[in-house]
Amino acid sequence: IEELLRRSEKLNTVGQLAAGVAHEIRNPLTTLRGFLQLQQQTRSVNPDHIDLMLSELDRINLIVSEFLILAKPQAIHFQERDVRGILRDVISFLDSQAHLYGVEVKLDFSSEPALVHCEENQLKQVFINLLKNAFEAMPDGGTVTITLKRPEGDHVLITIQDEGHGIPEELMPHLGEPFITNKETGTGLGLMVSQRIIQGHQGTLEIESKSGVGTKISIVLPAARQSDMEASSNDE
Protein backbone atom coordinates (compact mmCIF):
# COMPACT_ATOMS: atom_id res chain seq x y z
CA ILE A 1 0.00 0.00 0.00
CA GLU A 2 2.80 2.38 0.90
CA GLU A 3 4.37 1.84 -2.51
CA LEU A 4 1.01 2.48 -4.21
CA LEU A 5 0.54 5.67 -2.24
CA ARG A 6 3.98 6.83 -3.12
CA ARG A 7 3.35 6.11 -6.78
CA SER A 8 0.03 7.93 -6.90
CA GLU A 9 1.65 10.87 -5.15
CA LYS A 10 4.34 10.90 -7.78
CA LEU A 11 1.80 10.74 -10.60
CA ASN A 12 -0.10 13.55 -8.96
CA THR A 13 2.98 15.76 -8.92
CA VAL A 14 3.75 14.90 -12.53
CA GLY A 15 0.17 15.69 -13.49
CA GLN A 16 0.27 19.04 -11.71
CA LEU A 17 3.57 19.87 -13.36
CA ALA A 18 2.29 18.95 -16.80
CA ALA A 19 -0.80 21.08 -16.28
CA GLY A 20 1.38 23.97 -15.17
CA VAL A 21 3.69 23.67 -18.16
CA ALA A 22 0.74 23.48 -20.53
CA HIS A 23 -0.70 26.60 -18.98
CA GLU A 24 2.58 28.52 -19.09
CA ILE A 25 3.09 27.63 -22.73
CA ARG A 26 -0.45 28.40 -23.76
CA ASN A 27 -0.11 32.09 -22.87
CA PRO A 28 2.76 32.89 -25.23
CA LEU A 29 1.14 30.68 -27.89
CA THR A 30 -2.04 32.73 -27.67
CA THR A 31 -0.01 35.90 -28.12
CA LEU A 32 1.83 34.42 -31.09
CA ARG A 33 -1.41 33.37 -32.73
CA GLY A 34 -2.88 36.82 -32.22
CA PHE A 35 0.03 38.56 -33.93
CA LEU A 36 0.05 36.09 -36.82
CA GLN A 37 -3.66 36.55 -37.33
CA LEU A 38 -3.23 40.31 -37.32
CA GLN A 39 -0.53 40.11 -39.97
CA GLN A 40 -2.72 37.82 -42.04
CA GLN A 41 -5.60 40.29 -41.87
CA THR A 42 -3.56 43.41 -42.56
CA ARG A 43 -1.23 41.66 -45.01
CA SER A 44 1.62 43.66 -43.58
CA VAL A 45 4.54 42.92 -41.31
CA ASN A 46 5.23 45.06 -38.27
CA PRO A 47 8.85 44.68 -37.06
CA ASP A 48 7.80 45.41 -33.45
CA HIS A 49 5.37 42.52 -33.62
CA ILE A 50 8.09 40.27 -34.99
CA ASP A 51 10.27 41.19 -31.99
CA LEU A 52 7.44 40.37 -29.62
CA MET A 53 6.78 37.09 -31.40
CA LEU A 54 10.43 36.14 -31.16
CA SER A 55 10.53 36.86 -27.45
CA GLU A 56 7.39 34.77 -26.90
CA LEU A 57 9.04 31.92 -28.80
CA ASP A 58 12.18 32.30 -26.66
CA ARG A 59 10.02 32.08 -23.58
CA ILE A 60 8.42 28.83 -24.72
CA ASN A 61 11.87 27.48 -25.48
CA LEU A 62 13.13 28.43 -22.00
CA ILE A 63 10.20 26.80 -20.21
CA VAL A 64 10.57 23.61 -22.25
CA SER A 65 14.32 23.36 -21.74
CA GLU A 66 14.10 23.95 -17.97
CA PHE A 67 11.42 21.32 -17.85
CA LEU A 68 13.38 18.81 -19.91
CA ILE A 69 16.06 18.71 -17.22
CA LEU A 70 13.51 17.01 -14.99
CA ALA A 71 12.29 14.68 -17.68
CA LYS A 72 15.75 13.24 -18.42
CA PRO A 73 15.82 9.47 -18.11
CA GLN A 74 16.60 8.29 -14.60
CA ALA A 75 19.45 5.99 -15.63
CA ILE A 76 21.99 8.72 -15.11
CA HIS A 77 25.65 8.23 -14.50
CA PHE A 78 26.74 8.85 -10.95
CA GLN A 79 30.45 9.38 -10.71
CA GLU A 80 32.88 10.47 -8.05
CA ARG A 81 33.67 14.16 -8.51
CA ASP A 82 35.26 16.98 -6.54
CA VAL A 83 32.62 19.66 -5.92
CA ARG A 84 35.36 22.31 -5.97
CA GLY A 85 36.07 21.54 -9.63
CA ILE A 86 32.39 21.59 -10.54
CA LEU A 87 31.94 24.98 -8.84
CA ARG A 88 35.02 26.44 -10.55
CA ASP A 89 33.71 25.31 -13.96
CA VAL A 90 30.32 26.89 -13.30
CA ILE A 91 31.86 30.15 -12.10
CA SER A 92 34.04 30.52 -15.16
CA PHE A 93 31.03 29.67 -17.34
CA LEU A 94 29.05 32.49 -15.67
CA ASP A 95 31.96 34.93 -15.59
CA SER A 96 30.64 37.31 -18.25
CA GLN A 97 27.17 37.34 -16.64
CA ALA A 98 28.72 38.20 -13.28
CA HIS A 99 30.54 41.11 -14.93
CA LEU A 100 27.32 42.28 -16.51
CA TYR A 101 25.63 42.47 -13.10
CA GLY A 102 28.71 43.93 -11.44
CA VAL A 103 28.87 40.94 -9.14
CA GLU A 104 32.05 39.56 -7.64
CA VAL A 105 32.09 35.85 -6.82
CA LYS A 106 34.24 34.96 -3.80
CA LEU A 107 35.31 31.43 -3.05
CA ASP A 108 36.04 30.08 0.40
CA PHE A 109 37.00 26.44 -0.10
CA SER A 110 38.66 24.00 2.23
CA SER A 111 41.98 22.74 0.94
CA GLU A 112 41.02 19.07 0.98
CA PRO A 113 39.02 17.56 -1.89
CA ALA A 114 35.24 17.46 -1.50
CA LEU A 115 34.31 14.25 -3.26
CA VAL A 116 30.68 13.32 -3.89
CA HIS A 117 28.89 10.71 -5.99
CA CYS A 118 27.01 12.77 -8.50
CA GLU A 119 25.74 13.37 -11.99
CA GLU A 120 28.09 16.23 -12.78
CA ASN A 121 25.85 17.99 -15.31
CA GLN A 122 22.93 17.98 -12.91
CA LEU A 123 24.98 19.52 -10.12
CA LYS A 124 26.27 22.13 -12.56
CA GLN A 125 22.67 22.93 -13.43
CA VAL A 126 21.87 23.45 -9.73
CA PHE A 127 24.77 25.86 -9.21
CA ILE A 128 23.95 27.74 -12.42
CA ASN A 129 20.31 28.16 -11.32
CA LEU A 130 21.29 29.36 -7.85
CA LEU A 131 24.02 31.74 -9.01
CA LYS A 132 21.75 33.25 -11.66
CA ASN A 133 19.14 33.91 -8.99
CA ALA A 134 21.81 35.55 -6.85
CA PHE A 135 22.96 37.78 -9.74
CA GLU A 136 19.38 38.71 -10.61
CA ALA A 137 18.78 39.72 -6.98
CA MET A 138 21.70 42.20 -7.18
CA PRO A 139 20.99 44.54 -10.09
CA ASP A 140 23.36 47.10 -8.56
CA GLY A 141 26.15 44.59 -8.02
CA GLY A 142 27.66 43.15 -4.88
CA THR A 143 29.34 40.00 -3.70
CA VAL A 144 28.32 36.36 -3.84
CA THR A 145 30.25 34.22 -1.40
CA ILE A 146 30.48 30.48 -1.98
CA THR A 147 31.80 28.36 0.86
CA LEU A 148 32.57 24.67 0.82
CA LYS A 149 33.22 22.70 3.99
CA ARG A 150 33.20 19.23 5.38
CA PRO A 151 31.56 19.89 8.76
CA GLU A 152 31.42 16.22 9.64
CA GLY A 153 33.58 13.73 7.86
CA ASP A 154 30.73 12.24 5.86
CA HIS A 155 29.06 15.35 4.45
CA VAL A 156 29.90 18.21 2.16
CA LEU A 157 28.29 21.57 2.94
CA ILE A 158 28.04 24.19 0.19
CA THR A 159 26.64 27.65 0.91
CA ILE A 160 25.87 30.39 -1.57
CA GLN A 161 25.32 33.77 0.07
CA ASP A 162 24.31 36.88 -1.85
CA GLU A 163 23.76 40.52 -0.90
CA GLY A 164 20.59 40.88 -2.93
CA HIS A 165 17.14 42.17 -2.14
CA GLY A 166 16.04 38.91 -0.52
CA ILE A 167 13.08 36.66 -1.22
CA PRO A 168 9.66 38.25 -0.68
CA GLU A 169 8.12 36.75 2.48
CA GLU A 170 4.93 35.75 0.72
CA LEU A 171 6.94 33.58 -1.70
CA MET A 172 8.88 31.72 1.01
CA PRO A 173 6.23 29.07 1.80
CA HIS A 174 5.86 28.31 -1.92
CA LEU A 175 9.50 27.91 -2.91
CA GLY A 176 10.06 24.55 -4.57
CA GLU A 177 6.65 24.65 -6.22
CA PRO A 178 6.69 25.17 -9.98
CA PHE A 179 6.08 28.58 -11.58
CA ILE A 180 6.68 30.61 -8.42
CA THR A 181 8.30 33.76 -9.72
CA ASN A 182 8.24 37.52 -9.27
CA LYS A 183 10.37 38.19 -12.33
CA GLU A 184 8.93 39.49 -15.54
CA THR A 185 10.69 36.89 -17.64
CA GLY A 186 11.14 34.27 -14.92
CA THR A 187 9.93 30.70 -15.32
CA GLY A 188 9.76 29.89 -11.61
CA LEU A 189 11.28 26.47 -12.35
CA GLY A 190 14.90 26.99 -11.28
CA LEU A 191 14.52 26.39 -7.55
CA MET A 192 12.17 23.47 -7.99
CA VAL A 193 14.51 21.75 -10.45
CA SER A 194 17.46 22.40 -8.12
CA GLN A 195 15.67 20.99 -5.11
CA ARG A 196 14.71 17.84 -7.00
CA ILE A 197 18.22 17.29 -8.28
CA ILE A 198 19.68 17.63 -4.77
CA GLN A 199 17.04 15.23 -3.42
CA GLY A 200 18.05 12.82 -6.17
CA HIS A 201 21.56 13.01 -4.73
CA GLN A 202 20.32 12.15 -1.21
CA GLY A 203 21.07 15.70 -0.16
CA THR A 204 19.18 18.67 1.24
CA LEU A 205 18.75 22.26 0.07
CA GLU A 206 17.77 24.97 2.55
CA ILE A 207 16.91 28.58 1.87
CA GLU A 208 17.27 31.49 4.32
CA SER A 209 16.51 35.02 3.27
CA LYS A 210 16.31 38.46 4.84
CA SER A 211 14.70 41.33 3.01
CA GLY A 212 17.32 43.89 2.02
CA VAL A 213 20.16 41.81 3.47
CA GLY A 214 20.42 38.82 1.17
CA THR A 215 19.78 35.16 0.62
CA LYS A 216 21.72 32.12 1.70
CA ILE A 217 21.31 28.70 0.13
CA SER A 218 22.79 25.74 2.01
CA ILE A 219 23.27 22.41 0.28
CA VAL A 220 24.37 19.29 2.12
CA LEU A 221 25.51 16.29 0.11
CA PRO A 222 26.78 12.93 1.32
CA ALA A 223 30.55 12.77 0.87
CA ALA A 224 32.08 9.97 -1.14
CA ARG A 225 35.01 8.21 0.46
CA GLN A 226 37.20 5.39 -0.62
CA SER A 227 35.93 3.42 2.37
CA ASP A 228 32.34 3.75 1.08
CA MET A 229 33.14 1.58 -1.87
CA GLU A 230 34.95 -0.99 0.25
CA ALA A 231 32.05 -1.03 2.70
CA SER A 232 29.45 -1.55 0.01
CA SER A 233 31.36 -4.34 -1.67
CA ASN A 234 31.75 -6.04 1.71
CA ASP A 235 28.04 -5.66 2.48
CA GLU A 236 26.93 -8.83 0.76
Comparison of 28 and 190: residue with beta carbon closer to Mg ion: 190
* Count of C-beta atoms within a 10 Å radius of residue 115: 19
Taking the CA atoms of residue 119, residue 122, residue 123 and residue 128 in that order, the dihedral angle to the nearest 10 degrees is 160
Q: What is the distance between the terminal CA atoms of the chain, rounded to a whole angstrom?
A: 28
Name which position in 103, 115, 191, 198 contacts ligand ADP (CB under 6 A).
191
Interaction of residue 167 with ligand ADP, rule CB under 6 A: yes
Among 28, 164, 178, 190, indicate the residue that binds Mg ion (CB under 5 A).
Answer: 190
Near ligand ADP by CB under 6 A: residue from 31, 97, 145, 181: 181
**How would you class 165 by CB atoms within 10 Å of its CB: exposed for 0-12, middle for 13-18, buried for 19 or more?**
middle
In angstroms, the CA 146 to CA 87 distance is 9
Site for Mg ion in 121-140 (CB under 5 A): 133
Check binding of 195 to ligand ADP (CB under 6 A).
Answer: no
Applying CB under 5 A, which residues contact Mg ion? 133, 190
**Which residues are at the interface with ligand ADP (CB under 6 A)?**
129, 133-134, 137, 162, 164-167, 171, 180-183, 186-192, 215
